[in-house]
Structures are given as C-alpha cells and as structure tokens.
Amino acid sequence: MNRWIGRCAMYLIFVMLGVLLYSSLSKVAFTPAIWTLETAQFLMVAYFLLGGAYSMQLDDHVRMDLLYSRWTPRTRAWVDVCTAIFLLFYLVLLLYGGVSSTVYAFEYDETSYSAWAPRMAPIKVLMVIGVALMLLQAIAQFFKDVAAVRGETL
C-alpha cells in the first residue's frame, strides 16, 4: 500500500509546480490569485507526508552516513533498532496530536487565517494518513532490523 500511495504522491510535485507557475503568471498577466500559495503549501505537505513511508520502504531517507556506511550490517541493525524506538515514540505522539487536531478541525469547521480561508480538515486528514502509514512502515522496518540483529532475514 505504501508503494502505491508513494508512487501516486510523487506526482504531486508536478501539480505543485503547475500551481506555482500559474501563480507567477497571474501576478504578471492579471490579478494575482489568492489561493495559490496555500494550495502549493498543502500540496507540499501531502507530498512530504504521503511519500515519507515510501521513502522509508525504499531505504532512501536521509541519514548521517559518516559512520553508518562503515559499520557491519549487524551493527547497523542494532543502531536502527535503537533509533526506531525513538522514531516509533515520536510517530505515536505525532499521530495522537494529528488525530486530535483533525477532530478539532471537523468539530469547529476550522479554516486557515488567510484571506482565502480554506478548510483545514482535508489537509489534516491527509496528515493523519501520512503519519499512520509512516508508523506502519516504521513498525515493519523495526521487525526487519530485529531479525537482522538475530542473523535472520524476513
């Protein structure tokens, strides 16, 4: 599921570029659109959060490679298990906060404080989905690393 969602999310960058191009052209040719900046920001949030789990799945995320690349696969797995505990804790807190923020957005019909004032619930729902997918991928990676520490493969 992360692979399919991540592949679809990759194309959001082109949508965002189109919005920003329209924004630039509208400022030169006619009255600037007030919705373009926030739309581009929302698309970037969706791109980042929905693509995060896919990046973890492919092991393409950023890490400090100064020492990591020199370690044995088992040492890397030990370090990954230790850091995964912190990551899981962080993602659980982020998910909890995201769910409560999303519930608030639906209950009070929250809007942005800009002149355009779009509804915040849709982007918050995408935020919760993205964090949940990242949490599931982190759990899967944690078990793979635990197996690697034991000398097994999954």
What backbone phi and psi angles, to 5 degrees, belong to 60?
A: -105, 10
Structure confidence at residue 107 (pLDDT) = 97
d(CA 146, CA 134) in angstroms, rounded, equals: 18
Structure confidence at residue 54 (pLDDT) = 92
d(CA 43, CA 134) in angstroms, rounded, equals: 18
pLDDT in tens, the chain (154 residues): 889 999 999 999 999 999 999 999 998 888 888 899 999 999 999 999 999 999 989 887 777 778 888 888 889 899 999 999 999 999 999 999 999 999 999 999 999 998 899 999 999 999 999 999 999 999 999 999 999 999 887 7
Structure confidence at residue 141 (pLDDT) = 92
Structure confidence at residue 67 (pLDDT) = 83
d(CA 149, CA 154) in angstroms, rounded, equals: 12
Helices 121-150 + 36-57 axis angle, to 10: 20
Cα-based angle 104, 13, 55 (whole degrees, multiple of 5)? 80
